[in-house]
Structure 1
């Protein structure tokens, strides 16, 4: 790469071929897994593929932009290396889309896309911000057909454009059901992690010191923002937890199920009370706080959330008092869980 944001022509050709291959309706899960293997070879591949699929999505929506980009690509690619390569390639349109044909004019389809990626102008988009109060749950239906289920006390932003679909989470918990669209990757930025999706359902929880991703359907990749090569791929029934301090990605296999907070029950296996309290604070407006050594107590069990009324919160607190050596004291509008 001559610069970090400029993939080499050969890598761009490969990335463009992948983008065209996976853009059609005939793409299979095996194709996506093969793409994952290619992307894992080098961070350059991921950068190149992002550019290629973004351009394809943009040009598929705008025939005029396609013609202009191809004209610029042909002019830019008129070199001794590409003059001998005369190819004609076609792309099968998605259902309902306008068909179009690539004519190389001295360049291959991959070269055309590669050069056009570097020359195509940026396309504008709009960012929407969504916030839920403690105790409030909200369902978002996005324009692409994806659905986001927000838990209480959460904030996230959504940006949909022709190149990608991007969500940024800030101190949030949400479950996602992502519509399949290989031309527009779905990416979630949460803390110091990035989640990349290929049509799937999953849950993300951002805690004070860690991020947890659980997959109920499909395939996702979770990686470091600063080091994309440090990543894991998750399939149905797998979870990963990443600590903010050490960046370690801990993968576990569990029974795939709907996020517990959506069904009114929270399930824990040897988790600190501080984490339990953080989850409960998304369920009710009155804050709960673990005081002193109570925060480090470990809890295993199922907590039923008995509705959003104060009586439901009181019932859940009583269960914690029965399970753990803590006493609940209400003080200045806060419920304090103190060691007994």
Structure 2
């Protein structure tokens, strides 16, 4: 294999590994790879790291050439002094990336397996009474005249009875404008919390970190059934309650009402918001997926007002204002690292 003039040993190792797992490697290429490995211990180390990366992506289980034949090649390869490097180009894409970048992608692909919902959860969301897709919003008018404004990537179920109007928010975010009916309380259930309307207009948002309840008009009472040690919290107009996952509610905080549901005005507004939450909001509205390579990046703070029709401008702003870089995987997927 000729040296890769615009790359590195890691690039060459990845190129050889791709060839070895292509299912089309010729005997002559096998000998060339053995010779390349024999030339330098650094080649062996880079190839081993590339193999570990590939195994992390699950490819070697489908293409077992390396696992089955690498040991054989180690025995058969000639010494560096007698090695003959055959000028055979491996069958790989014209552009290669440094191993560190591909390891970054591998880490993010692993995140997908962790973060993406299970098939059961996905079916539950799509079988909900009401649901929205990525980038889609929906307005729902209920039988009692109450209105629900659903943000993108959201799902909920409705359960009305003679004694209660109950809504289960399964995922995402919604604003509720409630018609008065003293005989039937209006209750939203989200992430083991019950939000009882004491007025007419409030927003509930489920995130990976917990839930947020913002009141636009009047008040709501938030409680956690089965937790007698946690007192119900009343949230009034212009206030927000944040309840971290598995923790007690934080103190009620004032909120600018324009920040309660800016998506209804086709905007995203952030005021020192953690990057992890910003990425969640981007993924709610942007096709594909944006990944954070390291949890520590999620602690960076973002502020600004952005148009939902120009969501990629938010990614540009992140690149320009924060100590992060990005890798685009096609048009739909972006890795921040």
Is this contact kept in 1: 2:156–2:168, CA < 8 A? yes
**Under a length normalisation based on structure 1, what TM-score does the superposition of the two structures give?**
0.57
1:250 partner SS: coil
1:10-21 matches, within 5 Å, as: none
Task: Name the residue aligned to 1:85.
Answer: none
Query: How far off is 1:194 after superposition?
Result: 0.8
Query: How far off is 1:287 after superposition?
Result: 1.4
In structure 1, distance between residues paired with 2:209 and 2:226: 17
Q: Which has the higher strand share?
A: 1
Query: How far off is 1:269 after superposition?
Result: 2.8
2:328 partner SS: strand
**Under a length normalisation based on structure 2, what TM-score does the superposition of the two structures give?**
0.58
Where structure 2 has 5 or more consecutive residues not aligned to the other structure, the ranges are 1-126
Of 277-286 and 228-237, deviating more is 228-237
Number of aligned residue pairs: 209
Q: Does 1:322 align with 2:324?
A: no
In structure 1, distance between residues paired with 2:183 and 2:328: 53
Where structure 1 has 5 or more consecutive residues not aligned to the other structure, the ranges are 1-126
Q: Does 1:243 align with 2:244?
A: yes
In structure 2, distance between residues paired with 1:249 and 1:314: 32
1:282 partner SS: helix
Of 141-150 and 259-268, deviating more is 259-268
Task: Name the residue aligned to 1:103.
Answer: none
Task: Name the residue aligned to 1:143.
Answer: 143
Is this contact kept in 1: 2:201–2:217, CA < 8 A? yes
Task: Name the residue aligned to 1:187.
Answer: 187
Task: Name the residue aligned to 2:302.
Answer: 300
Task: Name the residue aligned to 2:131.
Answer: 131
Query: How far off is 1:163 after superposition?
Result: 0.8
In structure 1, distance between residues paired with 2:295 and 2:244: 21
Query: How far off is 1:143 after superposition?
Result: 0.7
Larger Cα Rg: Structure 1 or Structure 2? 2
Task: Name the residue aligned to 1:156.
Answer: 156
Task: Name the residue aligned to 1:21.
Answer: none
Query: How far off is 1:181 after superposition?
Result: 0.9
In structure 2, distance between residues paired with 1:177 and 1:256: 15
In structure 1, distance between residues paired with 2:251 and 2:269: 18
Is this contact kept in 1: 2:220–2:234, CA < 8 A? yes
Query: How far off is 1:332 after superposition?
Result: 6.4
Task: Name the residue aligned to 1:264.
Answer: 266
Task: Assess, with a 3 A threshold, how the Cα gap between structure 1 residues 225 and 256 changes in structure 2: closer, same or farther.
Answer: same
In structure 2, distance between residues paired with 1:294 and 1:327: 14
In structure 2, distance between residues paired with 1:337 and 1:163: 49
Q: Does 1:223 align with 2:223?
A: yes
TM-superposition CA deviations, 1:259-295 (whole Å, max 9, x none)? 1111122222332211111111111222111111563
Task: Name the residue aligned to 2:199.
Answer: 199
Task: Name the residue aligned to 1:275.
Answer: 277
Task: Name the residue aligned to 1:234.
Answer: 235
Shift >4 Å, 4+ stretches: none
Is this contact kept in 1: 2:239–2:254, CA < 8 A? yes
In structure 1, distance between residues paired with 2:203 and 2:196: 13
1:247 partner SS: coil
Is this contact kept in 2: 1:328–1:335, CA < 8 A? no
2:139 partner SS: strand
2:145 partner SS: coil
Is this contact kept in 1: 2:268–2:308, CA < 8 A? no
In structure 2, distance between residues paired with 1:231 and 1:295: 34
